[in-house]
Amino acid sequence: MDRSASPPAPGHSSLRRSLYPEIDAYSFGWLQTGGPHELYYEECGNPKGKAAIVLHGGPGGAINPTMRRFFDPAKWRVALFDQRGCGKSRPNASLEDNTTWSLIEDIERLRVHLGVEKWTVFGGSWGSTLALAYAVMHPERVEGLVLRGVFLLTQRELKWFYQDGASFLFPDAWERFVGPIPKGERNDMIAAYHKRLVHSDRKVQAEAAAAWSQWEGDTISIRGPEARPPKFNEVDFAIAFARIECHFFANRGFFPEDGWLLKQVEKIRKIPGWIVQGRFDVVTPLESAWALHKAWPESRFDIIWDAGHASTEPGVIDALIRATDEAARLR
């Protein structure tokens, strides 16, 4: 079902849903993976409610309290976790055994640990990538998919954002992004940044991480640079975010071939799905969400006419809240 939102007529107003009230986690802990990684996780909402798992973006981002507020706390039991190497998971910024496949194993590990049979998977940006990959590998464990800012992690998408494309719309921000990279290396910005983000000198890592993170912050919202929630250590956060994200992108998501995710969609078509996409999303352009919906026509598809990539833009919040409310009624 398509619901491609158009700009409202002059004088027209529509009531948009807002986030649910702030809520504290009722449990938290660190989950052992059998290797060097320990994963921070938390649960909020109703311990007897319908189960959901939230997958944060990046790779290399982290969960934050706002992510709890996309779900009716009376109806949902919501699990959130920091993926390998980021947020409160340990060790920070580690690239060891940090791949898409190990993260999928972590989701399953957490599901078993929490005693969940099936759950709704909620993810935006890289979180949508991971949600789709998890659903492809474990469709029997997925009751629903709520996706925002769809990212299929193709070379076309990576080139758009890190080489030629978004730079045409944000030449000022792009100039800051390429600034730390010598002209002779700018033909492959991901490779150039990867070299610096895995450098043995933490100062080199920090300088590259600051520029890498700023580029995304400058382009994420049509309302201007997006302010992230305060982090316990901004340098640690930036290094983890940039190192892990670039690590995944330099390795093309660890997928067997370019475009792999879209080719697997037949495996998830029976899963109820909601896709929410900002019309003016520059980070993960509409083309990918459109292609996913065409391959998965059973999914609910909302194009938000006045939104970019950020999950906190009003139209995106509205559509995501409506999606989780609908998913809560699934039987």
Active site residues: 125, 281, 309
What Å distances lie between residue 227 and 31, 74, 219, 220, CA to CA?
Answer: 30, 29, 12, 10
Helix (H, G, I), strand (E, B) or coil at 231: coil
| Nearest in space to 180 (alpha carbons), one of 212, 202, 219, 158 | 212
Torsion sign (Cα): 326, 107, 63, 114: positive
What Å distances lie between residue 161 and 11, 57, 169, 173, CA to CA?
Answer: 36, 16, 11, 12
- The tokens for 272 are 């109820």
CB proximity list for 304: less than 8 A, separation 6 or greater: 5, 276, 277, 278, 279, 313, 315, 316, 318, 319
Torsion sign (Cα): 118, 256, 260, 212: positive
Q: Which amino acid is at 176?
A: R
Which element (helix H / strand E) includes 96? none
Provide φ and ψ at 98, rounded to 5°.
-120, 90
Cβ neighbourhood burial of 132 (10 Å; 0-12, 13-18, 19+): buried
CB proximity list for 312: less than 8 A, separation 6 or greater: 66, 221, 226
CA atoms within 13 A on the CB side of 46: 11
